[in-house]
Amino acid sequence: MVYLLFILIFAASWWVQHSLTSKFEKYSRIPINGNMTGSDVASMMLSQHGIADVAVTHVGGQLTDHYNPATHTVNLSDNVFGTNSVAAAAVAAHECGHVIQHQVGYSMLKVRTALVPPVSFASKWVQWVLLAGVLLVEVFPAVLWVGIGLFALTTLFSVVTLPVEVDASRRAIAWLEHSGITTGDTTAYAKDALKAAAYTYVVAAFGSLATLLYYVLMALGRRD
């Protein structure tokens, strides 16, 4: 059953990634009102929320957009920063949604931020501890449980990330519609684009949970 679950998650991951790519290509060809680029949208959203200490910058790559609270920057990718499209507006507004979460002290963002140091440590060592645990399970079974504990931290981070991303998208769509940047069909397209992006986090969380279950069952099986 666990192996079947992995196959289903792999298939879902492929489908979600394919859907995300095709939808962003589609919505990247649909312009928004006012000929605004993703950079313009981000700057306007930050300004209207009274945020003056966060810069909008350009970063290379595709779908590499992110908000970095350490450097106070919203980093927009090649297809977003200078492009006038529904997809660019949706992504830019979503990243600014994270800035607003930070500003208002959104609870789940606080939880995710608090998890960053231990998860960074866990991510660095988890694969090696799990490998040692599998190899030494007959002699030192506790090592595998330590690895499971480290992996559980990364799984928790994936799960906590889901509401943070969904809330950022909700804030983005509400602002895009309220500001008149998207209306009618373009608002629906923006929602669809961000929903497709959210599914990648859902699949990642389920994949992490399935892997955690696999190692737990392995440890329990060895114990018996």
Long-range contacts of 141-148 (CB under 8 A, 24+ apart): 141/219, 141/222, 141/223, 144/215, 144/218, 144/219, 144/222, 145/219, 147/215, 148/212, 148/215, 148/216, 148/219
Q: Checking DSSP bridges between strand 55-58 and strand 73-76, what pairing results, if any?
A: parallel
Q: Is 25 a catalytic residue?
A: no
Beta bridge partners of 55: 73
Distance CA 60, CA 185 (A): 29
| From 25, 95, 138, 177, the catalytic residue | 95
Helix (H, G, I), strand (E, B) or coil at 36: coil
Distance CA 159, CA 43 (A): 30
Catalytic residues: 95
